[in-house]
């Protein structure tokens, strides 16, 4: 007799504990054959699960602190998985994406709506229908980005006993160090107290990439990414000595580089 196809590896990423628990329970009821479902509390944990488990299906909250659901979605689709967004946005904003392997669930998630999503996922899983979804994720991010959203233009940073104003165009990287964050330019560095996850909300995602839980770099400054003698991924920047850590969870950013 032919072997039954294995159940898909499924992940949920939702930073609100009650909503995460509710979705986990509803999904387990709607699709009992799934078995264990990986539940993540934030985007960073979700990226780690993507790197380690390569989930076939991911239910992602679009807005999570630090690493958003859109960032996680890029990693999921890069590894061949499918995405279902959970969101409080209205249907008009994302109805164009209820096609192929990208679906959405409006919060609070209704059981009948989840049942329809599960049915579509079962069909896609049975057929293993391929799809190029990166462009859809990029378009969705553009649609949902607030018009006139405030981007960081200046950094007010401490340098010794003084405060220096650093233009964002001069910044090469941000690196968390204990209770501070290093702000590094081509010829100097300073420290600020703003956490990396708060900085990310004000940085242009096309200009700055998070490559580690505590490291954000200017994309144009990246020289290369390679493994060291211990098998850890390290990054070097143009014109700078030393290297920076790169988490396996963020390696999808460098596909094809």
Residue-wise pLDDT for 35-92, tens only, equals 889 999 988 899 889 988 999 999 999 888 767 888 888 888 888 888 898 887 665 4
pLDDT band for 184, please (50, 70, 90 cuts): very high
pTM comes to 0.64
Angle formed by the axes of helices 111-127 and 17-30, to 10°?
60
Residue with tokens 């920076």: 244
Say whether both 205 and 224 belong to one domain: yes
Say whether both 50 and 137 belong to one domain: yes
Final residue in a domain of this structure, among 110, 144, 178: 144
Would 4 be classed as within a structural domain?
Answer: no
If we measure between CA atoms, which residue out of 90, 18, 124, 105 comes closest to residue 60? 105
Say whether both 130 and 30 belong to one domain: yes
Residue-wise pLDDT for 1-28, tens only, equals 344 467 899 999 999 999 999 999 999 9
Residue 125: domain span: 10-144
Say whether both 128 and 163 belong to one domain: no
Domain count, the chain: 2
Say whether both 195 and 113 belong to one domain: no
Would 174 be classed as within a structural domain?
Answer: yes
Say whether both 58 and 130 belong to one domain: yes
Residue with tokens 């030393």: 242
Say whether both 190 and 220 belong to one domain: yes
């Amino acid at each position: 007799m032919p072997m039954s196809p294995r159940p898909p590896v499924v992940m949920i990423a939702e930073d609100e504990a009650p909503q995460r628990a509710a979705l986990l329970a509803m999904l387990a009821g709607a699709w009992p054959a799934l078995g264990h479902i990986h539940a993540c509390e934030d985007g960073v944990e979700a990226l780690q699960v993507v790197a380690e488990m390569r989930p076939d299906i991911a239910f992602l909250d679009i807005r999570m602190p630090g690493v958003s659901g859109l960032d996680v979605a890029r990693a999921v689709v890069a590894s061949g998985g499918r995405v279902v967004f959970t969101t409080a946005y209205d249907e008009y904003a994302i109805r164009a994406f209820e096609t192929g392997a990208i679906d959405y669930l409006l919060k609070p998630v209704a059981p009948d709506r989840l049942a329809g999503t599960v049915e579509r996922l079962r069909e896609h899983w049975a057929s293993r229908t391929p799809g190029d979804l990166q462009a859809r994720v990029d378009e969705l991010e553009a649609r949902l980005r607030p018009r006139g959203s405030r981007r960081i233009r200046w950094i007010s940073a401490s340098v010794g006993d003084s405060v220096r104003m650093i233009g964002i165009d001069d910044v090469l990287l941000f690196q968390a160090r204990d209770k501070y964050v290093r702000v590094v330019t081509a010829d100097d560095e300073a420290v600020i107290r703003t956490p990396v996850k708060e900085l990310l909300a004000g940085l242009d995602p096309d200009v700055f990439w998070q490559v580690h839980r505590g490291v954000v770099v200017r994309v144009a400054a990246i020289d290369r990414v390679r493994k060291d003698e211990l098998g850890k991924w390290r990054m070097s920047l143009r014109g700078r000595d030393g290297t920076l850590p790169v988490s396996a969870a963020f390696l999808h950013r460098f596909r094809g580089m």
